[in-house]
Amino acid sequence: MNAGLGFKVSHLQSMLLFALLVSIAFGFLSRRRPIDRVKYIVWSLFLFLLIGVGIGWAMYPFSR
Amino acid sequence: MIDETAAPAAAPQEFRRETMALVIGVAGWLVPGLGHALLKMWGRAAMFFLTVGLLVFLGAGMRGNVFTASGNDAFDSLGYLADLGTGTFYLVARSLETNGADVSHAGGDYGTRFLATAGVLNLLAALHAYEAARGRKA
CA dist B120 → A47, A50, B32, B111 (Å): 20, 23, 11, 14
In three-state secondary structure terms, B73 is coil
The average pLDDT across A2-7 equals 56
**Distance, in angstroms, between A14 CA and closest chain B CA?**
7
**Domain residue spans of chain B:** 16-133
- 3-class DSSP state of B35: helix
| B138 has a pLDDT exceeding 80 | no
Residues of chain A neighbouring B63 (CB-CB closer than 8 A): 6
A51 or A4: which leads in pLDDT:
A51
B71 pLDDT higher than 90: no
The predicted complex's ipTM stands at 0.85
Q: For residue B116, what are the CA distances in angstroms to A5, A13, B99, B109? A: 21, 18, 19, 11
Q: Which residue of B has its CA nearest to A1?
A: B61
- Over residues B28-61, the pLDDT tens digits come to 999 999 999 999 999 999 999 999 999 999 999 9
What pLDDT score was predicted for residue A30? 93
Q: Is A1 a residue whose pLDDT tops 90? A: no
